Amino acid sequence: MNNETIPLPLVVDKDLAKAKINLVLTTAQLSIQALQDKVDSLVYNEDNLAEINETIAAIKKVEKKVEDAHKEGKAPSLAEGRAWDAAKNDLGGLLATIRSKPDKEYTKLCQAVEARKRAAKIEDDRKAGIEALLTTTILGFSQEITACKTSTELVSIQARINAEQGKKSAYQEYLPSLVERCAELNPLLKEQKEAIKQWEGLEKDTQTAIETGNDELLLEIEGKKEEIGGKIHETRIRVEEQAINSSIRHSGGGFTQTFPEVKAKRRTWKYEVKDIEALYKKCPGLVALTPNDEKIKEILKEKIAEGETKDKESIVFMGLILFYMDKKY
């Protein structure tokens, strides 16, 4: 049995990395603490500009040494990380190629299902809307019929019912259903119209009996009116019952279609601006105006090449853009 163990690579943490960088600085006879002491003792005035500048240069020298040590120290880890990245990219690329066809086809199929769902929803809403219109129309006519007190009003409603049956664009494929349901009301409407005509005739006879003082005839007319009035009331009830039963009988009970179950991996709201110029005119706050950095820098290069910036701290282009010398010390 082999008792030898494979040595694990040294794990470098922050403290070990700092120690290694400090070793590099010590070897180069550089000290961060010495720099700190120097900065603390500096006198900051115009007479001491040279010494301040030399101190800054010394700090930059140490900074450069730290950068070099950092770069050298992490180079092996970077190389190992790049190897892992390359391996992952190679295998990931292979898998992406394998997955591309099913992914594309699956997306296409899911989009087709969603499109059919949207179309079915629109169609269901259209049908439900027409059925609701049908029910409202029939119930509305029935209520108007029951409220009529004269034969003239009933004749007007009959004309409107006939006209309604010609509205192909409103009822579309449900027009035959409207015609059928109107036909169910027509006999009751006719019956009611005849009863009310009889009532209207009795009203005239009542006036004649009163004018002639014929009490016997008046009693006879009142008996007939009571009979006709009961018939009118009964027909009104039958009209309303007919309309309600018709609505229940012709109820579609909803529209359902079966679709494959589709689940999106991720749902995010996005936007697309159809007309950026129109959007800016109507809602300027929704459009960000930014300078074209590349084009402006091209203009600056031309100005420098033409010598317009020589011995100057700033120049103005067309009164709109200020070019200026940015200095760092």
Q: Kindly tell me if the per-residue pLDDT of 305 is higher than 70.
A: yes
What is the model's pLDDT at position 234? Answer: 86
Q: Kindly tell me if the per-residue pLDDT of 287 is higher than 90.
A: yes
What is the model's pLDDT at position 298? Answer: 94
Task: Give the mean pLDDT of 195-222.
Answer: 84
What is the model's pLDDT at position 301? Answer: 94
Q: Kindly tell me if the per-residue pLDDT of 231 is higher than 90.
A: no
What is the model's pLDDT at position 1? Answer: 43
Q: Kindly tell me if the per-residue pLDDT of 267 is higher than 90.
A: no
For the whole model, what pTM was predicted?
0.55
Confidence bin at 7 (pLDDT 50/70/90): low
What residue ranges do the domains of the chain occupy?
A: 14-110, 120-249, 285-324
Which of these ranges, 8-22, 27-41, 92-106, 241-255, has the smallest mean pLDDT?
241-255
250 vs 171, which has greater pLDDT?
Answer: 171
What is the model's pLDDT at position 251? Answer: 63
Tens-digit pLDDT profile for residues 62-103: 999 999 999 999 998 899 999 999 999 999 999 999 999 999
What is the model's pLDDT at position 6? Answer: 44
- Nearest Cα to Cα of residue 20 among 72, 78, 62: 72
156 vs 229, which has greater pLDDT?
Answer: 156
